[in-house]
Amino acid sequence: MVTTADAANYEKTGGKLIKVHGKVTKVERVEGTVSHFMVEDESGVPIRVFINGYILSSTGADPTTKLNEGDTVTAIGLSSMDTEGVRIRVRDRAEIVLEDIPPVVITHIAEVRKGKVDELYTVEGYITAGTKAGNAFADIIYVQDATGGISVNILLLDKLEIKLGQKVRITGKLNIYENDLVLTASKKEIIDSGINLKEAELVTTADAANYVKTGGKLIKVQGKVTKVEKVKDVVSYFIVKDDSGVSVRVFIDGYILSSTGKDQTTNLKVGDMVKVVGLASMDREGARIRVRDRAEITITKPTDPTDPGVPPVNPSSGTGSESNVSVKQNISEDGTKLEIITTKTSIDSKGNQIQDITKVIMDRKTNKILETVKETRITDSKTSSVLRMVVTKGEKKDDIKRDIFIEAGISASSIKDNKAMVTLNILPEYIIEQFKALGGKVKVNVSVGMNTSKLTALLKEKNVNEVIITIPIPEEITSQEKIIFNEIILGKDVINEARKQNKTIRVVITDDKKQEIYSITFDGKALGKSKEVLKDVNVLLQILQPNKRNKIFNLINSTIPDNAKHRGLVLELKEKGVLPVTAKVRVYVGNQKGFEAGDKEYIYLFNEKSPVGKNSYDFRLEETTTSSVVIGKGGFIEINISKGGSYVLMPKKAKQSILAVNTNKAADIKKDAKTK
C-alpha cells in the first residue's frame, strides 16, 4: 500500500505494482463504462486511475459499474505515465474494491430549490416536459414530484427518448441560468417507463408570476390577453391577466409546435379569453409560463372588437430589453431535413447585447434530432468585443463540442514616445459565466482574435513606431484546467500593415495583476525586409512542466539529475510553421520552482521528425541560435524564435545521445521549412 502522493510520484513508484486507498473525487465514463477516476487519501495529492476499455474483470463482477464521486475505494495497478501525466494503470477491474457505498439519498424538489448552488442532489419525479421533437425544449426537460418542479439540463446525457409521465431519477448539480434554477444532470435513470401524466395545477396569474411559489411546476392559468407579440406572424409571447390583477408573460419558443396540428395562437388577439398550460420558469425578463405544446393554448372567448378597453395589437414592436426574436425554418433541397433557428436578442444590465441562438436540425421522417447548436453571442457596448459560446451536440452521446470564440476589442489606448499602447478586452467575466453555466466541469476550448481594423489604423499613424498589444487573462481563468486556450491570433492584415510601415508589433500577455507572463515582439525593420508569405499567426505560448509532455519528459530524463528535474521547462509556441520574422520572446520564469536570477539555462527545440539515432530514440532535441540564456534580475529570459514548436529549457547541456543526428541551427530549420 502506498499513499496517493507516492503513487503520483513517478520517480518513486514508476513501473511498480502498487495499491492505493482513498476517496473518489471524480469519475469519467465513456459510453457508460468507467475510463478513469481520481482517488485522493490523507496525503492530499490525487492520483488518476486509468482503465483501458478492453480491460475486464477476472471474476466477472465489475465494481466500477457502481462507482460514484464520494465512494471509498482500494485500487491495484501499475504505476505508469501517459500524455496526461502519472497514473495507475489497472490490469483487472476486479482489483478495484468499493467500500461503504452510501445509499442514494433522494431529496424533495422543494428542498432542492432552497439548496446551495453547485451542490449535488438526486431527485425523483415525473416528466412534465420531455424530449419529443416539436414539443421539447433545447436540452431541457422538467421533472415534478409531490413538492415541486424543476428544469433539468440534459446536455451531458444520452439522447434517449424521455416521455411525458415517465418516472425518472436525476442526479446533478444545482445551477442558475438566466435567473432560473436548473439541475445540470450528470446521471439519469428511468425508474418507471409507464405513463402517469401529471395534471397542470390551476393557479392565478399572480401566483404564476410568483416564481418562488410556482417555479418549475406544470401550471394552468386562464384570463384575458392584454398584449400579443408576433414575429413574421408567429406568436413569440403574449401577456395574460386574470381577476388577481397581476399579469404574467406566456413565452413560446419558435421551435415549439402543436401536437394536434391545430394552433389557436394563429388567431390570438388582445382581448381574447384564454386557457394556457405550461411550465413556470424564469429568464432574463423575469417570471414566465413556458409553453411546451401550442395545442395547450385555448381561446375560450374571442375578443369583442367594440370593447373600448382593448388596446391595439402591435406585432412588430420591440419589448425594450428583448429587442428582437426571430424564427426561421428551412428545409434542405432533398426535403429530408428541417432546420429551425431561434434567435433571442436582449440587453443586460451593463448595456451589452446578448443573443441566444439555437439551431436544431431534425430528420423530417423520424423527428429525430440530428444536431443541436446552441450559441450565446455577447457584444460589449464599450469595446465592441464579441464573445461567442457555441455548444454543438451531434447524434452520438460523446459528440459534444464546447467552444468560445472571442474577437477582442480595445478597452484602453494611448500614444507616448512614439509607442501606441492598447489593451484588449477578452470579456473574462463572461468566459467564467458561460463556463459555470455548463456546470464548470467540462472542457471548453477558447480562441481569441483581435479587432484588426483599429490596430491597422494605429499602425498608419505617423507618430507611431511601435504598437504594444496587451491582453490581460485573469488567474480565475488560467487556474481552470478545463478552460483550454487554443489560439491567440495576430491577424495577417495587422502584420502586413506593420511590414508596409516598417513598424514593430509586440503582443504582451499579463495576468489580472498586470504581471507580464510573456511577450512576443516582431521587429518593424525585419518585417519590412521579410519576403515571407504572410498569414495569421498564433501567438499563444504555453509554459509547461516537462511531465506535461510525456515524450519530452522521457527524452530529457537521462540528462537532468534527480536533484534538478524540477528545473526543466517547456515553452510551447502554438503557431505551426515559420514566423514572418524571427521573434524576440520574453518569458517570466521567476514564479517557477528552482529558477533564480543569474541561473544559466540551455535551450533546445523538440523536433519529432528528426532522424532516429543508434540508441533508437524516437525524438530529438535540436540546438537553436539562442543556445543558452541567463535569467535576469526580474525573473525574465529572452530568446529568439523563428518557428513554432516546443522549446525545452534545461539547467544542463543535453547529452549528445539525445541531440538530433544532424544538428541544425534555427536559421537552417527555417530555410528547410520553406522548401517543404
Per-position DSSP letters for 87-120, written without gaps between them = EEE-S-GGGEEEESPPPPPP--HHHHTTS-TT-E
Q: What is the pLDDT of residue 568?
A: 80
The residues facing 89 across adjacent strands are 50, 78
Q: How far apart are CA 503 and CA 96, in angstroms?
A: 62
Report d(CA 606, CA 591) in Å as an integer: 23
Output the CA torsion 390→391→392→396 (10° steps).
Answer: 170
Q: What is the pLDDT of residue 357?
A: 83
Contact predicate 26/38, CB 8 Å: yes
Structure confidence at residue 396 (pLDDT): 67
pLDDT tens per residue across span 306-357: 333 333 322 223 333 333 333 444 444 456 776 777 777 778 778 888 888 8
Full-prediction pTM beyond 0.75?
no
For 466, other C-beta atoms within 10 Å of its C-beta total: 18
How far is the C-alpha of 643 from the C-alpha of 672, rounded, in Å?
11
How far, in Å, CA of 164 to CA of 132, rounded? 9
AA letter at 321: S
HSE-CB of 439 using CA atoms within 13 angstroms: 17
Question: Residues of the chain whose pLDDT is less than 50?
Answer: 304-333, 564, 612-618, 662-676
* Distance (Å) of CA 89 to CA 23, 35, 86, 120, 267: 17, 11, 9, 29, 65
DSSP 179-217: TEEEEEEEEEEEEE-S--PPPPEE--HHHHT-HHHHTTS
Half-sphere exposure of residue 301: CA atoms within 13 angstroms, side-chain side:
7
Per the document, the length of the chain is 676
**Mean residue pLDDT across the chain:** 85
Q: How many CB atoms lie within 10 A of CB 308?
A: 5
**What pLDDT, on the 0 to 100 scale, is given for residue 661?**
54
106 in Cβ contact with 83 (< 8 Å): no
Q: What angle do CA 445, 400, 158 make, to 5 degrees?
A: 150
